[in-house]
C-alpha cells in the first residue's frame, strides 16, 4: 500500500538539477498537477525528457515558460515557439531525437539494455557522433539508453498499490517512462481500491511506482 502525497510534497522531493522523464503528448496524458506544483516551487535547472513541450500555458510548456528547464531531450518542439526561442538564445540546450528512437532509448534505460540499434536516422543529421554497427550487412545507429532521476507519470487511475491504468491516447510515453525513473511519481485522475483495476488492465505494475499523487480536490 502506498501513501498519497500532495502535489507540493511531490514537487519538494524533486531537487533542482534533476533529470525528469515526463509523460504526455502535446499535453495529453501529462501529469498536470505535478507540473503546476513544480512551477509553484520555482524548480530550476531541470533536464526534461519528453516527447514534446506542448504549447505555452499547457503541460510541459508551463515548465518551459517558467524557466525551470535548462536541458531538453524531445522529438518535437514545433508547436511551442517559446521552446524554440529559448533554444536559439541558448537558454535551453535541446537534443532532438526521432520519436521512435526516443521511446526505445527510454525503454532501454528502463529494462537494462545497453542501447538500441536502429535504422532510423542513418544518413541524416541524427547520425552525427554516433557509432554505426553493422548487423547481417545492414547498418544501424547505436542509440544509448536514457534514465531519469524521476519519472512523472499521468494516468487514468491507480489503485492503493500503485497499479496504473491508462486511457486511449493518454498512454503515449507514460508506461515506458514508468520503467526508467529511479523515483516514479504517478498522478492518477482517480484512485480506486485494490481489485477495481483488473490485472489484465494494469499496464504499469504498482511495484514500479514510488508515490501516488493524492486525489484532486
Partner 1 sequence: MEDKDIIALRVAQEIKPEMLVNLGIGLPSLVANHLPKDVHVFFQAENGVVGLGPRPPEGMEDEDLTDAGGGFVTAMPGAASIDSAMSFGLIRGGHLDMTVLGGLQVDERGYLANWMVPGKMVPGMGGAMDLVAGAKHVIVAMVHTARGAHKIVERCTLPLTAVRRVSLIVTEMAVIEPTEQGLVLKERGPGVSIEDIVKATGAKLIIEGDVPEMQLN
Sites of contact with partner 1 (CB under 8 A) = 25-29, 51-52, 74-79, 84, 87, 96, 98-101, 103-104, 107, 118-126, 156, 166-176, 203
- Shortest Cβ distance from residue 160 to partner 1 (Å)? 23
* Comparison of 45 and 124: residue with beta carbon closer to partner 1: 124
- Shortest Cβ distance from residue 122 to partner 1 (Å)? 6
* Cα gap 67→92, rounded to integer Å: 9
- Shortest Cβ distance from residue 88 to partner 1 (Å)? 8
Cell numbers describing residue 213: 499523487
SS3 45: coil
SS3 61: helix
* Comparison of 76 and 211: residue with beta carbon closer to partner 1: 76
* Comparison of 11 and 121: residue with beta carbon closer to partner 1: 121
* Comparison of 68 and 74: residue with beta carbon closer to partner 1: 74
* Comparison of 1 and 90: residue with beta carbon closer to partner 1: 90
Let me know the angle formed at the C-alpha of 139 by 137 and 144, rounded to the nearest 5 degrees: 135
| Phi, psi angles (nearest 5°) of residue 20 | -115, 120
Q: Which residue has 526508467 as its cell numbers?
A: 180
- Shortest Cβ distance from residue 194 to partner 1 (Å)? 23
Do the bridges between strand 93-96 and strand 116-118 make them parallel or antiparallel, or are there none, so unpaired? Answer: unpaired
Output the CA–CA distances (angstroms, integers) from residue 114 to 18, 66, 98, 143, in the order listed: 22, 34, 19, 9
SS3 184: strand
The residues that bridge with 192 in the sheet, in sequence order, are: 159
* Comparison of 8 and 100: residue with beta carbon closer to partner 1: 100
- Shortest Cβ distance from residue 53 to partner 1 (Å)? 10
- Shortest Cβ distance from residue 124 to partner 1 (Å)? 5
Amino acid at each position: 500500500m502506498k501513501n498519497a502525497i500532495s502535489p507540493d510534497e511531490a514537487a519538494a522531493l524533486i531537487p533542482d538539477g534533476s533529470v525528469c522523464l515526463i509523460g504526455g503528448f502535446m499535453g495529453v496524458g501529462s501529469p498536470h498537477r505535478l507540473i503546476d506544483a513544480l512551477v509553484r516551487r520555482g524548480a530550476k535547472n531541470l533536464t526534461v525528457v519528453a516527447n514534446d513541450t506542448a504549447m505555452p500555458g499547457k503541460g510541459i510548456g508551463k515548465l518551459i515558460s517558467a524557466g525551470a528547464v535548462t536541458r531538453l531531450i524531445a522529438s518535437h518542439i514545433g508547436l511551442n515557439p517559446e521552446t524554440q526561442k529559448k533554444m536559439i538564445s541558448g537558454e535551453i540546450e535541446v537534443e532532438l531525437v526521432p520519436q521512435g528512437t526516443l521511446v526505445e532509448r527510454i525503454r532501454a534505460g528502463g529494462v537494462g539494455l545497453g542501447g538500441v540499434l536502429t535504422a532510423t536516422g542513418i544518413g541524416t543529421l541524427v547520425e552525427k557522433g554516433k557509432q554505426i554497427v553493422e548487423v547481417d550487412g545492414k547498418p544501424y545507429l547505436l542509440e544509448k539508453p536514457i534514465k531519469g532521476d524521476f519519472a512523472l507519470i499521468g494516468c487514468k487511475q491507480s489503485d492503493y498499490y500503485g497499479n496504473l491504468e491508462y486511457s486511449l491516447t493518454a498512454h503515449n510515453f507514460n508506461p515506458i517512462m514508468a520503467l526508467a525513473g529511479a523515483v516514479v511519481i504517478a498522478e492518477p485522475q482517480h484512485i480506486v481500491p485494490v481489485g477495481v483495476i483488473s490485472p489484465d488492465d494494469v499496464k504499469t505494475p504498482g511495484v514500479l511506482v514510488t508515490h501516488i499523487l493524492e486525489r484532486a480536490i
